[in-house]
Structure formats: C-alpha cells, structure tokens
A and B are shown apart, each in its own frame.
Chain A
C-alpha cells in the first residue's frame, strides 16, 4: 500500500478564529513502512493523525488530498469516509484506556461493532481470539467488563480490535505516552510485530518521544507549529538531521551516562507561536539559532536527498 498526502490543511474552529493546526502537510508512506510522527505538544501531529480517519466536530477541513492504495480518501466527507474506517484506515486512539464501553462486555461490544460494519463475525472471531492470545491476554477477556481490566490490558484489547480487519494504515496516537519505559518497549515491539505479521500494512506512530521512535520506526516525520519540519529515515533523523529544530530537539534529550555537570541539556528557549495568527515566514524563526532574513519567507518542504526532506533554507543551502 502507499499513502500519499498532499497539502492537507485542517483548522480548528474557535470563537477567536481558526487555529491553523495542520497547514499544508505533504508526505508519503510506502508499503510496510512505520512512520513516526513527532513534535512538541500542540504541533499538530495528533490533528494530522486524526484527520486521516475522522474529523471531529471542532475540526474543519480546508484543503488537500489523501490517497491510500491508489484510492482517494474523502476525509472531508464524514459519510463517504465511513466505508474506509476500520477496514482500510484504523486508529488506536489517545484515549484507548477509556475507549471501551464500560457497561458492555468486551466480546459483546466487539461483536456488535463488527456486525454493524457488515463483517462476517463467525469468520473473524477465531482470528480475534488468536490475536488476543498473541498479545498475552487471557481467553476469558471477551466475557469481562472493561472495569475488570488493567490499563495495559485495555490498551492491548484496543490495539487488537483496531487492527482486526487488517487495515492498510494504522494510526497509533500517543500509545506509549502514559507508560513506563519497560511497558513502552513492550508496546513498541508489539506494534512492530503487527506490521511484521501483516496485520497492518503501514503505520503512523504519533508521539513526542523521539527515543521510542528510534527503536521502532522506519522513518520519522517531525512537525513544528502545524507545519512539517523534516522527514527522513529514523537513522538519518537521529544522526544526520538537517533542520535546526530537529537538531535542538535531539540535543534536548538527556543521554545515558552523561552528567549534568559535564554537559548541560540544551533546551529550546521560547515558546511555539500562536496558531491563531501564525507568523508569515518560517514558524520556527523566532527560536531558531541560525535564522536569517531569508526565513521571513516560508521555506518549502522539499527533498534534500533521496528520502530526506526538510523545510529550511539553511538545510537546502
């Protein structure tokens, strides 16, 4: 499969105007690729992920196209998008821990959901059980209520359910954000295993945690203030990034073995710009250590070399 996103722009409506959460996102994901989508809180990564499957009531589609497996995804049309949901595009939501109906047994809810999507339940149910076993969940879990499960178990149920129909694209929204490090690793490995076993074709993993992405993603897309900053294979992003924001982001990460006395963490001073009235030029300009006047003009997100794109005048130069 492949995903082509072209100039996708989604705003949030608010009383004070439109919040330009995602502004002109263009990228591609190849068949079988796990792409990490990273950035600070509020950079638009969750919005971008969500807009690929379902715009909620506050979001407003402005322009852009999304193409999956050669077919156009009508993301702006809620009704026409429905046949694609769960089947071709699926999502493990940020709120996975509360995503299950508390008053319904898990099995019953799953069956009702599948039936409502016109899926042959009898064919799918054995596979469902098999995958639940794969993620180390007991067989009787289908008889239980969500309240009887731990947070980790609930998350795994949601992971299995969301990928049950073998979607072409799975969006994992902040699945590791609330977990401890060892569980993070387990979940990350599980997601990779899903891809390796062919349960999903490609994945977008949304997180702010670059170190997790380095462990599991094939490529990483960094966003800043609603715009794409840099996209490259994970190895390249970590060792050879070209965008100043990415570099600063990486240097903000503490390194094991290095003491504060020896080397101080370099943060990024300042705050992201307001997305209500974003600056006209490069949005990182105010905080960028190497900004020049040229940055008054928005740099295009263009390829530097094969598979490596960035939106920075300095990077291109």
Chain B
C-alpha cells in the first residue's frame, strides 16, 4: 500500500513539475512576442510604450537569461506569487483567483458528488428494470453528448428569460453584498440552481451509463453466479455487484475531473457566474497572460490534489490494492 501511494505521489509530483514547466515555457516558445501583442491591444501612447515595454519585460522576466527565468518562476511560485494581473492592475493574480474559487467550488463540488451518487444509483436501477433501462439509457446518452454550455444557454433561455423562474446571471442579486445572512443565502441559492443543473445533468448521464454497464458485467460474474447457485437472494447478489461496480466508477471519477472542471468553466461563462470560468474568459479576452497562467496553475494543482485524495480513498475501499497483486500461486 505504501508503495502504491508512493508511486502515485511520484507521478503527481512529476506531473506538477511538467505542468509548471509547460506553463513557464509556452509564452517563451510560442511564435510571436507577447509583449508586443499586449501593447498592440492597449493602444498605448507612444511615449509610454518604452516604459510599458520595460515593465513587462521585467514582469515576464525576459530580461534575465532563460535558466534564471525558470528558477525565478519556481521561487515565485513557492512564495505564492503568481504575478500581478495585467487587466486588473494592480490586483495580484492570487487575489483574483482567491475571490473566484469559492463560487466555482460551490458549483463543482455538489455537481460532482450529487451526479456521481444519483447517476450510479439510477444506472444500477436501470440495469435490473427493463422499463427504466429503456428510458434512462437513451436519455443518458443524450445528456452525456450534450455540451454543458449549450444546456446552460437553454436553461437560461427557458427558465430565466422566458419563464423568469430563475435569474439569468450572477451568483447573487446585484444589490446584495456577500455576507452570512439569510437574505444573501436565498439569493445565492436562487442563482445557483440553473448553472448547477446544467453541470449536474450532463455528468449524471455519464455515470448512469457507466454504472448500468458495470452492474450488468458484475451480475454475470462468477461470484454472482455462485451466490445464485447457492440460493442467495437477489438482494445480496445485487449488493455485492453494486459495491464491485462502484470501484471502477471511482477510478473513472478521477479521470473525469478534468472534464467536469472544463464544463464548470463554460457554464459559469453562460451565467456570468463570478467563478474561475468568467475570470478565465476575461483573462483571455484581455490577453491577461499572468492571470491565465495563474488560473492554469491553480486548476492543475486543484485537479492533482483531488486525484490524489481519490487515490488514497481508493486504497481503503478496494482491498485488492492493499494486498498487492499476488493472486494465486
């Protein structure tokens, strides 16, 4: 078990290392000069061009040799310094991210957890009831093929613009300030429903399909047949099948994290939800390189951490990882 975790940790550290290097390398090795592009967008006054160029050269670190840039990058990272936002000067990147993260998490975490739980339950049910199978399955295929932002747009159009049941943008009413009050909480929840649903439904579809297939596979396994041959009630057989089918689903959860995060980003944009998604869009539109890089790093670290947590949890859930793959003699 220790070896398993140690191996996983090595991979994550390596990945982090690679990601940071990529993050550092891309602006420096892509064709074109980012500083010039920035200045072009800013329509800077001729006089200030010189000053801005030298500022940005310093900020990017282009004024020192390449290897030093690399080391400085790492040093800054360990100090939590992700640079200063270009578009929102002089706010540091870290501050902007910190402000946006809670909203993204508020959408992501419930969406991931609930879709996983509900999708697996419904998938398992569909595996044993033909009626459910014929309705849930096609619906799930449609859902999993749906681009999240489109679903968000449709929901916004139907439920917000047309029916006015929910608000169409923001995380809370514009007149309010974030506070631990009942009023704010209500407004927050009201704004939260539609983006959450867009994320939830698409993910739900994927889990339902996967679980249904896994359950069928497990119900046909030898141990299921043996239990049935010894007269075990279907409840027991299903219970074992469900637990065993859940294991690869948990592995799948780790793999799917990247996709869910991507979905959250685009859905947030649709609803102008003040999370990382909208922040990313602003950063991209403004070519705010430091902010983009900062968000990128943050996302990577977040996903890596989540993956690591899931891996640790998996060790405790699946006894086979603990005893090693020794098997027969």
Contact = CB atoms under 8 A, between A and B. Distances in A.
Q: Do chains A and B touch in the complex (CB under 8 A)?
A: yes
A204 B65 CA distance: 83
A91 B244 CA distance: 24
A53 B222 contact: no
A235 interface: no
Contacts of B319: 102-103, 105, 145, 147
Nearest to B236: A116
Nearest to B247: A103
A116 B229 contact: no
B238 to A, nearest CB: 12
Contacts of B240: 101, 103-104
Contacts of B327: 147
B249 to A, nearest CB: 13
Interface string A149-185: 1111010001001100000000000000000000000
Contact of B230 (A152, A154, A162): A162
A152 B328 CA distance: 8
Nearest to A171: B229
B229 A85 contact: yes
A82 interface: yes
B243 A54 contact: no
B222 A86 contact: no
Contact of B231 (A82, A98, A105, A154): A82
B163 interface: no
A90 interface: yes
B329 A101 contact: no
A145 B236 contact: no
B229 A54 contact: yes
Contacts, number: 83
A148 B326 contact: yes
Contact of B226 (A87, A93, A112, A116): A93
Interface residues of B, number: 27
B323 interface: yes
> Interface range on chain A: under 10, 10 to 19, 20 to 34, or 35 or more?
35 or more
B327 to A, nearest CB: 6
B229 A103 contact: no
Contacts of A87: 231
Interface string A106-142: 0000001100110000000000000000000000000
Which has the most chain B C-beta neighbours within 10 Å: A90, A95, A101, A148? A101
Contacts of B235: 116
Interface in A55-110: 56, 82-87, 90-91, 93, 95, 97-105
A85 B223 CA distance: 16
Contacts of B329: 150-152
B231 A93 contact: no
Interface string B310-329: 00000000111001011111
B231 A83 contact: yes
A51 to B, nearest CB: 12
Interface of B: 221-223, 225-233, 235-236, 240, 243-244, 247, 318-320, 323, 325-329
Closest A-B pairs by Cβ, 5 of them: A85-B231, A150-B329, A99-B226, A98-B222, A95-B222
Given A95-B222, A99-B223, A100-B226, 14 more contacts: A53-B229, A54-B228, A82-B231, A91-B229, A95-B225, A98-B222, A102-B223, A103-B247, A103-B319, A104-B240, A105-B319, A147-B325, A150-B329, A161-B230
